[in-house]
Amino acid sequence: MNNPHPSPQQAVVIGGGIVGVCCALYLQRDGHRVTLIDPAAPGDSTAKWSCGQMAVSEVIPLSKPGILMKIPGWLLDQKGPLALRPSALPGILPWFMRFLACARPSKINEIAQDMARLTQHVYQDYAPLLAACPDKTLLGDRPILEVFDSPAGLEHERPHLELRKQLGFCSEELDGAAIGDLEPALAGKFQHGLMFPDWRAVNDTEGFIAALTESFIAQGGVRVRQRVVKIDEHHDKATGVTLADGARVPAELLVIAAGTGARAFFDSLGVNIPLAGIAGYQAVLPQPGVEIRHSVIYADGGFCFAPMTRGLQIGGTIEFAGANAEPNFKRAEIIMEKARRVLPQLNTQGMEFGVGYRPFLPDTKPVIDRSPRLQNAILAFGHGQLGLTLGATTGRLVSDLAARRSPTQNLSAFSARRFAVLGGNA
C-alpha cells in the first residue's frame, strides 16, 4: 500500500559515506528526524578514493567473458590493473566462484539491464540534493574521456559499447586530433579514444560528500562520529544502536549503508551475503604541474586522471586482497610509474596515497532491500565502483521503502535474498 506522506520517525543511518549521506538526506526530505553515524570525518570514506565519476553507463559487470583465463595472470603479475594476492586466494575463492558464474553472456546482459534501470535516474535524483547545497559547482559539466594505446583496445570495447547503446547510453569515438583538442597535455600521445557525453565528474570527491553532509546538518540532521558496535532490537524490530562508547541511539527506522562495514551486522539483519572489499588505490598530487581538463580513463594503463580541487587524483587499479588485509601502497607507486610515462613532467611533491575498499558483490549489483529479520531495517550497500554514481538514487529508493511507497524501479534484482542458495561471506 502506497503512503506518499509517511509519518515522521526517528531514523538512524549507519554509514556516513556517499550512500549513507544520500539516504539520510532523502529520509530527511520525507520529514524523518535522522541521525547519521560514522567513525570517520565527513568525506573521509571509500568514495573519497575514487575517480569521482558519474559513470552512468558503467553497467557491465566485472565478470566479463574470458575472465577465468585471466586469473593466473592476476596472480603472477602484481603490477597489472587487476591483481590478486596469492595469500588471499583461499579465503576469496568462494566469492570468485559466484563471480565466475556471472560471466555468461546472458547473465552479463541481465545485470547490465538491471543496473541501467538505476543509473538512468542519477542526475534527476541528485538534483534536489545539490540544489540545497550553497556551492553550485560540486558537479562538473564536462564529459569523461577514455584513451587507448592502440586500435585493439577500442575494438575490444565495441561489444560493450553496443550493449550500452541498446540500453540508451551514448559514446563518441575520438581520433588523435580530437583528443589533443580536448586535452592539450595528451596531444600526440594517444590516437584512439572515446568520449562519454552523458558522464560527469565531481569537482572533488571528499568535498562533494562533505558538502552534502553539511547540507544534511544545516537542515536539522545530526551526525555522530562514533562506531556502531551493536544493533539493539526487541522481537522483530530494531530499537536503536549501541555505540563504541556505550551510548545508545534510539531508532524507529534503521538504514545500514556502511559499505564493507555492513558485514558486522549480518547476523542481526538475518542475511548471509557474499560481500567483499576490493581495494582501489589512488594518489593525489596537490600541485601536479600539468593541466588536465577532463576526467580521463587510460584503459590500457588501468587508471584514471581525475582533476579535483585538492589536486590531480590518479588511480583506479583494483586488488583482490582478502578480508582485513593491510593496504599495499606499492600498488599506488605502480600507478604513478605508469602515469609518469604518459606525463613525465608531473610534479609529485606533497603526493598523498590513499585506498578505498569498494564493497563488491559477485554480480556487481548492490543490495537495496529490507532486512529479512528486522522489519524496520533497510539494507543499502554493495555498490562496488558505483557508490558515488548511485548514491542519490539509492537514497530515493530507501526513502520509498521506508514509506512503503512502490519504488519507480523494480527492486527484485537487488534483493538481499538473491544469494540465499549459495550463501556465505567473502
Cα radius of gyration rounded to whole Å, the chain: 21
The yes-or-no verdict on residue 3 having pLDDT over 60 is no
pLDDT tens across 62-103, in order?
877 666 566 666 666 666 677 788 888 888 888 888 988 888
Q: Give the DSSP letter of residue 403.
A: H
Confidence of residue 423 (pLDDT cuts 50, 70, 90): very low
Confidence of residue 270 (pLDDT cuts 50, 70, 90): very high
Residue 296 in this model has a pLDDT that exceeds 70 = yes
Order of all β-strands in the sheet with 228-234: 228-234, 237-243, 248-250
Those residues with Cβ within 8 angstroms of residue 90's Cβ, 6 or more apart along the chain or in another chain: none
Using one digit for the tens of pLDDT, what is the confidence trace for 210-260?
A: 999 999 999 999 999 999 999 999 999 999 999 999 999 999 999 999 999
| pLDDT tens-digit map of 52-65 | 999 999 999 887 76
Q: In this structure, are residues 47 and 18 in contact, taking their beta carbons and an 8 Å threshold?
A: yes
DSSP letter at 62 equals S
| Predicted local confidence at residue 83, as pLDDT | 79
Q: What share of the chain is helix, strand, coil (3-state, %, to 5)?
A: 35, 25, 40
CA 254 – CA 76 distance, rounded (Å): 44
Q: Note the pLDDT tens digit of each residue in 96-132.
A: 889 888 888 899 999 999 999 999 999 999 999 999 9
pLDDT band with cut points at 50, 70 and 90 for residue 425: very low
Region of residue 251 (left: phi > 0; alpha: psi -120 to 50; beta: else): beta
Measured distance CA(185)–CA(118) in Å, rounded: 35
Cα–Cα distance, 91 to 131 (Å, whole number): 44
For residue 2, pLDDT over 60 is answered with no
Assigned C-alpha cell, 37? 553515524
Q: What is the pLDDT of residues 342-381, one digit of tens each?
A: 999 999 999 999 999 999 999 999 999 999 999 999 999 9
Give residue 370's pLDDT: 97
Question: What is the grid cell recorded at 145?
Answer: 574521456
Is the CB of residue 212 less than 8 Å from the CB of residue 133?
Answer: yes
pLDDT tens-digit readout, 334-353: 889 999 999 999 999 999 99
Please, what is the average pLDDT of the chain? 92
| Burial class of residue 326, CB neighbours in 10 A (0-12, 13-18, 19+) | exposed
Q: Using the 8-state DSSP alphabet, how is residue 417 labeled?
A: G
Sequence-distant (≥ 6) Cβ neighbours of residue 94 within 8 angstroms: 274, 424, 426
Helix or strand run (H / E) with residue 75: helix 67-76
C-alpha cell at 255: 538504514
- List the domains of the chain with CATH numbers: 76-103+141-200+275-360 (3.30.9.10)
pLDDT at 70 (0 to 100): 65
Task: Please state, for a pLDDT cut of 70, what percent of the chain lies above it.
Answer: 93
pTM of the model: 0.94
C-alpha cell at 352: 598523498
d(CA 1, CA 348): 57
Amino acid, single-letter form, for residue 244: A
Cα–Cα dist 157/210, whole Å: 35
Residue 421 has pLDDT above 60, yes or no: no
Which residues, 6+ apart, have CB-to-CB distance to 188 below 8 Å?
176, 180
HSE-up of residue 218 (Cα within 13 Å, Cβ side): 10
